[in-house]
A and B are shown apart, each in its own frame.
Chain A
Amino acid sequence: MTAITSSAPTAPTSAARPRGVIRDFINQQPLGALSFVVILSMTIAGIFSEWVSPYDPLHIDFAAILQPPSWEHWAGTDAYGRDIFSRIIYGARTALVISLTSSFLGSTIGAILGIASAYFGGWIDDWIQRFMDILLAFPIIVLALVVVAALKTAVLFGIDINLIVAVAIPIIPRVCRVVRAAALTIRVMPYVDAARAAGYSDSRIIFRHMAPNVVAPYLIMFTAFMAQAILLEASLSFLGLGVTEPTPAWGLMLSGNAADFYREAPWMILFPGLAISLAVFAFNLFGDSLRDYLDPRFKV
């Protein structure tokens, strides 16, 4: 087996040749590349909603309520005569903004706590881990619900900050655990010892030597929790505790009176649900592929 281990070095591909990395990724993870295309098109739809969407997502048209999918309305219209396709496109923005910020917030705080925990050890580690234990004892959605129940809605730039916080907090302990474990293995790496032996400062060791090496787990967690965050946001909105009407949001589109129209307008349930599933699917698949790609353990 020696031939194999030596031909697949443990070190991940470098940042030195980005083009090669991309080609490599596409070759090894075609599904992952495909999911990335989905994510990319969603992102574009989210950023350029104004140009991409055929209708104003807020425009009420009582003359056109509950219309089935047609050439005018690809995904039909809802009970207010609003174009569902346009609302899905704008919904991508809502989903991405909330999940991106909350996943970034949660993963980053989690990662920093995880690295600090691993590097300093001792009582700092103990206290951080005790606190993470506490957060971990809550099921994700329960924690989010408690946060939502606890914090009043606070809107900033049209985004509900507390919703982001509610989605981010359950992410923190989960990322913290994983990153801490990764950082612990790096903590005992000879190159960290070498840095300590050279007398570098703690912050230099943490940020220059350890942090870049937990980027892989961080990225994997980040994409995985993007998916989680979209799902969580949709669930909260579905429960009526997240984004509020008339903001276009996928989970919201499934709640309220959508379920009243099982028979008359199944598209009201079908398309937003598909949008959530596709988005979460893409992020999950991408995260999965990223892990397979970055984690050499399963590499042949």
Chain B
Amino acid sequence: MKSVLGFAGLIAFALAGAITPADAQQPKRGGTLNFAISAETPHYDCHGSETYATLHFSAPFYSTLVRFNLKKFPEIEGDLAESWTIAPDLMTYTFKLHQNVKFHDGTPLTSNDVKATYDRMRAPAKGVVSPRQATFADIGTIETPDANTVVFKMKAVNASMIEHFASPWNCIYSAKDLAADPNSPRTKINGTGPYVFGEHVKGSHVTGRRNDNYFKKGLPYLDGFRGVFTLQAAAMLNAVQGGQLLGEFRGISPAERDRLVAAMGDKIRIEEESWTLNLLVAFNVEKKPFDDVRVRKALLMSIDRWGGSAGLSKISTLRSVGGLIRPGSPLATPPEELMKLPGYSKNMAASRAEARKLLTEAGVPNLKFVLHNRNLAQPYTPAGIFLVDQWRQIGVTADHKQYDTAPYLATLNSGNYEVAIDFSNLFMDDSTLSLAKYLSFDRSPQNLSRAIDRELDKLYDAHVRERDVGKRKAMIQAFERRVFEQAYQQPILWWHRIVPTHKVLMGWDMSPSHNLGAQLETVWLNQ
């Protein structure tokens, strides 16, 4: 959808830390922001990471080429790029960089650094981890005509390419550092971001201080920040309530929200939005009886999504009923359409009766299996508890087994499971990102149903190259229907992001993804 916007004309944004009218007050300078990071990153390398733990840690120290404008999501705005042009055939992307950008070590940033950064992501040197190689596989060459211009020449059309350029994980590194040690970003931070790395006390906190040479004049407002690792939700809540931390930017559960509101009254600000995350349930089609579509379908049909949404939304981060695309986003299937799909009916009595019938037909009326789940309190455990309860109601016994992440992943990789709860973490709504998970197992190893379905692959490939919005939408819906009819895997519920911040904290932007907006350069303290 957004790519279509790009197609409509050459759009250039020149935004440099502009203050929108919403922030009526004049920002104040100074102060240190203490905030919670509910996980601790193992390393500092954005490229090599898939977790917000790294972003919330590293993003304030870095810049990207372009990024999402959180005030007008999903619009794109420039970060290091002062402006950019996209060729009408979507085969060339040209970025003009800001002048006088300096790395924290004092060296000036040039187009070479951008090229080195993208080369590292698309074709990493030996020993460098880059999970986004496939995303940038369509890039043919990267040219640097001058120090402030970078030109990306594509090998093939990717309708969503500009969104991928806006990915928060594309931190721009120094070419010099990478030349010295391609893995230096893992342990050393040298960016162009609003903050300069202070210290990282393992298991405790990370600090950053204002980058006085930041290329966006007047920013950041804060003298610095301290991100405190709070692995226990209770500890985080206590600290927020006690005023030791001013916010948690990933998202908390409704119960936690209620507690903060009850305890703090009007001192706390709560912002909510649906989240670009969902939990899935996947059936391993390689295991009997889950090779039988009736069994899979029966299990999906017996899940009361609408009821579950109402209940779980009170106690967990799960909330929205949705298909493969985040509900509420432009490409999403609307609820009335959704209800026609298996597993989304509101008439649960009928659905469950049907489910029982299907099971009986399949010869497994008293099905028993193990539901493999990850051992995380939010929202894996509630999802597991919920599913076990739902299946109990059609006479199916699911043994809920929760593991630590490593053995959990190992089990999933081994294929030695029947039913598993899986997770889809997106940073935007673009369908090329969100549908990839459902491709045939041989193309998408993260497809936990391990199904091979060439029809799905065909639909996906066509839609990636398709530039017409209407046709594209139809293809997405066909894809979705196919996935649900075959009942390989299905989102249980989409998440709901609730971010608590103290009211003194200003200038922070809410968005549907916790991976975005972690640079903190516009944040200020009203005290």
Chain A residues near B (Cβ < 8 Å):
58-60, 62, 65-66, 79-81, 149, 152-153, 155, 158, 240-241, 244-247, 255-257, 259-264
Q: Is B377 in contact with chain A by the CB < 8 A criterion?
A: yes
Interface majority SS on A: helix, strand, loop or mixed?
A: loop
Interface core residue of A59, A155, A240 (most chain B CB under 10 Å): A240
Q: Is B399 in contact with chain A by the CB < 8 A criterion?
A: yes
| B255 in contact with A244 (CB, 8 Å) | no
Smallest CB separation, B36 vs chain A (Å): 14
- Chain A residue at minimal CB-CB distance from B259: A263
- Chain B residue at minimal CB-CB distance from A154: B401
Q: Is B389 in contact with chain A by the CB < 8 A criterion?
A: yes
| A58 in contact with B389 (CB, 8 Å) | yes
| A80 in contact with B315 (CB, 8 Å) | yes
Q: Whole-angstrom distance between the alpha carbons of A261 and B311 in the complex?
A: 16
Smallest CB separation, A59 vs chain B (Å): 7
10 contacts across the A-B interface (CB closer than 8 A): A58-B388, A60-B385, A65-B311, A79-B315, A153-B403, A241-B375, A245-B381, A257-B316, A260-B253, A262-B238
Q: Which of B259, B370, B388 contacts A261 (CB 8 A)?
A: B259
Give B305-361 interface residues, CB cut-off 8 Å to A: 307, 310-312, 314-316
Q: Is B22 in contact with chain A by the CB < 8 A criterion?
A: no
Q: Whole-angstrom distance between the alpha carbons of A300 and B278 in the complex?
A: 69
Interface majority SS on B: helix, strand, loop or mixed?
A: helix
Q: Which of A58, A66, A244 contacts B402 (CB 8 A)?
A: A244
| A60 in contact with B255 (CB, 8 Å) | no
Digit string of B240-280 for contact with A (CB within 8 Å is 1, else 0)? Answer: 00000000000001011011001100000000000000000
Q: Is B2 in contact with chain A by the CB < 8 A criterion?
A: no
Q: Which residues of B contact A255 (CB under 8 A)?
A: 377
Q: Which residues of B contact A65 (CB under 8 A)?
A: 311, 314-315
Q: Which residues of B contact A263 (CB under 8 A)?
A: 259, 262-263
**Size bin of chain B's contact surface:** 35 or more
Smallest CB separation, A247 vs chain B (Å): 8
| A246 in contact with B253 (CB, 8 Å) | no
- Chain A residue at minimal CB-CB distance from B234: A259
Q: Which residues of B contact A241 (CB under 8 A)?
A: 375, 404
| B389 in contact with A240 (CB, 8 Å) | no
| A264 in contact with B259 (CB, 8 Å) | yes
| A62 in contact with B377 (CB, 8 Å) | no
Instruction: Count A-B pairs with CB separation below 8 Å.
Output: 89
| A264 in contact with B404 (CB, 8 Å) | no
Q: Is B407 in contact with chain A by the CB < 8 A criterion?
A: yes
Digit string of B374-402 for contact with A (CB within 8 Å is 1, else 0)? Answer: 01011001101110110010000001111
Q: Is B505 in contact with chain A by the CB < 8 A criterion?
A: no
Given contacts A59-B389, A62-B314, A246-B389, contact A240 B375 (CB under 8 A): yes
Smallest CB separation, B394 vs chain A (Å): 15
Chain B residues near A (Cβ < 8 Å):
232-234, 237-238, 253, 255-256, 258-259, 262-263, 307, 310-312, 314-316, 370, 373, 375, 377-378, 381-382, 384-386, 388-389, 392, 399-404, 407
| B407 in contact with A152 (CB, 8 Å) | yes
Given contacts A58-B389, A65-B311, A260-B255, contact A244 B400 (CB under 8 A): yes
Q: Whole-angstrom distance between the alpha carbons of A259 and B231 in the complex?
A: 13
Q: Which residues of A contact B259 (CB under 8 A)?
A: 260-264
| A245 in contact with B385 (CB, 8 Å) | yes
Q: Whole-angstrom distance between the alpha carbons of A211 and B177 in the complex?
A: 71
Q: Which residues of A contact B253 (CB under 8 A)?
A: 257, 260
Beyond A257-B233, A260-B255, A264-B255, 13 additional contacts (C-beta under 8 Å) are A58-B388, A60-B311, A62-B312, A62-B314, A79-B314, A80-B315, A81-B311, A153-B403, A246-B389, A246-B400, A260-B234, A260-B253, A262-B234
| A264 in contact with B389 (CB, 8 Å) | no
| A244 in contact with B315 (CB, 8 Å) | no
Q: Whole-angstrom distance between the alpha carbons of A244 and B376 in the complex?
A: 11
| A246 in contact with B314 (CB, 8 Å) | no
| A245 in contact with B402 (CB, 8 Å) | yes
| A246 in contact with B402 (CB, 8 Å) | no
| B255 in contact with A79 (CB, 8 Å) | yes
Smallest CB separation, A117 vs chain B (Å): 35
Q: Which of B233, B234, B381, B386 contacts A60 (CB 8 A)?
A: B386
Smallest CB separation, A256 vs chain B (Å): 5
Interface core residue of B258, B315, B375, B401 (most chain A CB under 10 Å): B315
Q: Which residues of B contact A264 (CB under 8 A)?
A: 255, 258-259, 262
Q: Whole-angstrom distance between the alpha carbons of A65 and B386 in the complex?
A: 14
| A245 in contact with B400 (CB, 8 Å) | yes
Q: Whole-angstrom distance between the alpha carbons of A294 and B258 in the complex?
A: 55
- Chain B residue at minimal CB-CB distance from A56: B392
Q: Whole-angstrom distance between the alpha carbons of A66 and B382 in the complex?
A: 15
Q: Whole-angstrom distance between the alpha carbons of A59 and B389 in the complex?
A: 7
Smallest CB separation, B135 vs chain A (Å): 34
Q: Which residues of B contact A60 (CB under 8 A)?
A: 311, 385-386, 389
| B381 in contact with A256 (CB, 8 Å) | yes
| A246 in contact with B255 (CB, 8 Å) | no
- Chain A residue at minimal CB-CB distance from B411: A152
Q: Whole-angstrom distance between the alpha carbons of A160 and B494 in the complex?
A: 31
Q: Whole-angstrom distance between the alpha carbons of A93 and B328 in the complex?
A: 46
Q: Whole-angstrom distance between the alpha carbons of A241 and B406 in the complex?
A: 13
Q: Whole-angstrom distance between the alpha carbons of A80 and B382 in the complex?
A: 8
| B403 in contact with A246 (CB, 8 Å) | no
Q: Whole-angstrom distance between the alpha carbons of A246 and B380 in the complex?
A: 12
Q: Whole-angstrom distance between the alpha carbons of A152 and B414 in the complex?
A: 14
What are the 4 tightest A-B residue pairs by CB atom distance, in nearest-first order? Answer: A62-B311, A259-B234, A79-B315, A244-B402
Q: Which residues of A contact B375 (CB under 8 A)?
A: 240-241, 244
| A244 in contact with B401 (CB, 8 Å) | yes
Interface core residue of B238, B311, B400 (most chain A CB under 10 Å): B311
Q: Whole-angstrom distance between the alpha carbons of A246 and B375 in the complex?
A: 12
Q: Whole-angstrom distance between the alpha carbons of A244 and B404 in the complex?
A: 11
Q: Whole-angstrom distance between the alpha carbons of A152 and B401 in the complex?
A: 11
Q: Which of B381, B386, B399 contacts A155 (CB 8 A)?
A: B399
Q: Whole-angstrom distance between the alpha carbons of A240 and B263 in the complex?
A: 28
Q: Which residues of B contact A59 (CB under 8 A)?
A: 389
Q: Which residues of A contact B263 (CB under 8 A)?
A: 263
Q: Which residues of B contact A259 (CB under 8 A)?
A: 232-234
Q: Which residues of A contact B401 (CB under 8 A)?
A: 153, 155, 244
- Chain A residue at minimal CB-CB distance from B237: A260
Smallest CB separation, B105 vs chain A (Å): 41
Q: Which residues of B contact A247 (CB under 8 A)?
A: 400
Q: Which of B255, B310, B389, B402 contacts A257 (CB 8 A)?
A: B255
Q: Which residues of B contact A257 (CB under 8 A)?
A: 233, 253, 255, 315-316, 377-378, 382
